[in-house]
A and B are shown apart, each in its own frame.
Chain A
Amino acid sequence: MMHKRKLAVLAAIAALAGATAVMAGPRDDILAGYAAEAGVTAFDAAAGKALFTGTHTGGKPETPSCTTCHTGNLTGPGKTRAGKVIEPMAVSANPQRFTDPAKVEKWFGRNCRSVLGRECSAKEKGDVITWLSSL
């Protein structure tokens, strides 16, 4: 009896770890891709935080900061200007984040142009993902 229960617990832990690993897989690939593109070996979470929480002037007046929509509380939900709820950005609160390369590229493209008025560099994207994965 005891054995069976222990085994079940172990199996559950293994399954959970497996799931996280499967989720982490594509995220690591995305980061590796940005690292290669930027020619760096490591990303800077602090720089990611500065970009994400800072106020910018180059973009559209309606969206001065990434936090305009994603809010300062990254483990909680955000809200678009049109009132729609945005799922949390911190990976700890939303393990689905940064696992679909096309989605990541699409939103970096849009949101950087809206907030900064320009594309984000591969380094900046990597920094932001690294910071949001560490929360």
Chain B
Amino acid sequence: MATTTTHDTQEHGMAAADAARASVKVWDPFVRLFHWSLVAVVATAALTGFFAGASWLQVHVWAGTAMAALVVARVVWGFTGGSYARFSAFIRGPRQVISHLRGIVDGTEGRHIGHNPLGALMIVALLATAALLALTGAVALGGMFKFGPFAFLADFASGRLARELHSLLAWGLVLLVALHVAGAVFEGWRTRDNLMRAMVTGAKQRRPGDYPAPRLAARPMLGLAVGVVFLGGGAASVSTLASRPPLGVPTAPLDAVYADECGACHTAYHPSLLPAASWRALFANLGDHFGEDATLPPETVAKLEAYVTANAAEDFDTLPANAFRRTAADAPYQITATRFWKWMHAGISDAVFKSPAVGARGNCAACHRDAATGRFDPRRIDIPQEITR
């Protein structure tokens, strides 16, 4: 600081003006890369989250994971980066935010070459919202779909709560992004800057009257080391946690007699797909089973009924076990008649179900490759090719 001032005062004329107008590298390469990568992953996560179905969940999860990693990296750089990247250099208290706002209203506010106090607040809000989105997403994923780092810990109810929060936060992030863009447009107009270009090239013209930014030397090696430790440690713990057995997911293979007898006309429905009361009603009525005779010797019926009622929906915590617990009143043991099933498959046309490769709605295994396990992982949905083409 001091040297610059003496330097400036010693020079005269054009040279002084040139020095003052010299272009400054405001946004270092990391900050720029971070910014546009975040734009890309948030856009991907938003598109797949708001508009795409369960089959895009995998992409959504990857985008969310990348977003979390970017936030961690940015926070590390917030403590190790240089003048315009360091949090302590631009995060300001409420008093300065208010005086900044007053200055804008009065027209007396100068230009902050880096983040202005209000913009800094936005950076914090964006980073915090993104971090919470990743956290609630991971809990929702673990609780509802039984994969990821929280699958061993979160039950369905907490997963669903987390998903509610996740969607509120998602709308919150949409709002923040809109405000952030509006703020940048406004600030660009107010200070006659091309802020968009600055975030690409990293450079801005220095002008007289700019608020000075503190001179802080970046410590890239330290940042890199801390970042590697945090991200590496994070990845390692996520994968160890994710490899723990998920909560309430059936692991035992289907009973062989059940698979044989109840898999003769259709895929053997996993016992966890219906509540015990439904199974009892079904077994009491095998003589008129969906318009067919499916009778079995009484001892086989007793054995199979004991098996399915001991492994029914109440005994597991998977998404289908939770969703199909609420059966239709007029079809107490028809999975495809439940509200959840209808709602989930509303987008699939009758022609697809009737096509040779599927045949019927009840042929779950035609599209759900893990149907036999009762799990119905959204990552394993695969509508047969010949139909979708």
Q: Does A113 sit at the interface, judged by CB under 8 A? A: yes
| Interfacial residues of chain A within 66-102, with CB under 8 A of chain B in the complex | 79-84
A82–B360 touching, CB < 8 Å: yes
Q: Does B366 sit at the interface, judged by CB under 8 A? A: yes
B266–A80 touching, CB < 8 Å: yes
A114–B293 touching, CB < 8 Å: yes
Q: Which residues of A contact B266 (CB under 8 A)?
A: 80, 82-84
Give how many A residues have a beta carbon under 8 Å from the other chain's beta carbons.
Answer: 16
Q: Given contacts A83-B360, A83-B362, is CB(A60)–CB(B265) below 8 Å?
A: no
B292–A81 touching, CB < 8 Å: yes
B293–A81 touching, CB < 8 Å: no
Q: Does B295 sit at the interface, judged by CB under 8 A? A: yes
Q: Does A39 sit at the interface, judged by CB under 8 A? A: no
Q: Does B233 sit at the interface, judged by CB under 8 A? A: no
A82–B293 touching, CB < 8 Å: no
Closest to A109 in B: B295
Give how many B residues have a beta carbon under 8 Å from the other chain's beta carbons.
Answer: 19
Distance (Å) between the CB of B355 and the closest chain A CB? Answer: 10
Contact indicator per residue, chain A 9-51, by CB within 8 Å of chain B (1) or not (0): 0000000000000000000000000000000000000000000
Q: Which residues of A contact B265 (CB under 8 A)?
A: 80-82, 84
B291–A61 touching, CB < 8 Å: yes
Choice from A80, A84, A111 contacting B293 with Cβ under 8 Å? A111
Closest to A79 in B: B359
Q: Which residues of B contact A62 (CB under 8 A)?
A: 291-292
Contact indicator per residue, chain A 96-135, by CB within 8 Å of chain B (1) or not (0): 0000000000100111011000000000000000000000
Closest to B292 in A: A114
Q: Which residues of A contact B363 (CB under 8 A)?
A: 82-84
B358–A83 touching, CB < 8 Å: yes
B295–A81 touching, CB < 8 Å: no
CA distance A63 to B290 in the complex (A): 11
A109–B293 touching, CB < 8 Å: yes
Q: Which residues of A contact B366 (CB under 8 A)?
A: 83
Q: Given contacts A80-B266, A84-B265, is CB(A63)–CB(B360) below 8 Å?
A: no
CA distance A78 to B358 in the complex (A): 14
CA distance A109 to B295 in the complex (A): 8
A113–B293 touching, CB < 8 Å: yes
| Interfacial residues of chain B within 6-61, with CB under 8 A of chain A in the complex | none
Distance (Å) between the CB of B1 and the closest chain A CB? Answer: 77
Q: Does B381 sit at the interface, judged by CB under 8 A? A: no
CA distance A63 to B294 in the complex (A): 13
CA distance A24 to B362 in the complex (A): 36
CA distance A81 to B361 in the complex (A): 10
CA distance A106 to B4 in the complex (A): 97
B360–A81 touching, CB < 8 Å: yes
Q: Which residues of B contact A80 (CB under 8 A)?
A: 265-266, 359
Q: Does B158 sit at the interface, judged by CB under 8 A? A: no
| Interfacial residues of chain B within 284-331, with CB under 8 A of chain A in the complex | 287-288, 290-296
| Interfacial residues of chain B within 333-385, with CB under 8 A of chain A in the complex | 358-360, 362-363, 366
CA distance A39 to B265 in the complex (A): 33
CA distance A37 to B362 in the complex (A): 39
Closest to B297 in A: A106
Distance (Å) between the CB of A60 and the closest chain B CB? Answer: 5
Pairs of residues from A and B, 6 with the lowest C-beta to C-beta distance, nearest first: A83-B359, A82-B266, A83-B363, A62-B291, A83-B360, A113-B293
List 26 contacting pairs A-B, 8 Å CB cutoff, sorted by A: A60-B293, A61-B291, A62-B291, A63-B291, A79-B359, A80-B265, A80-B266, A81-B265, A81-B290, A81-B291, A82-B362, A82-B363, A83-B266, A83-B358, A83-B363, A84-B264, A84-B265, A84-B363, A109-B293, A109-B295, A110-B295, A113-B287, A113-B293, A114-B291, A114-B292, A114-B293
Residues of A within 8 A of B (CB): 60-63, 79-84, 106, 109-111, 113-114
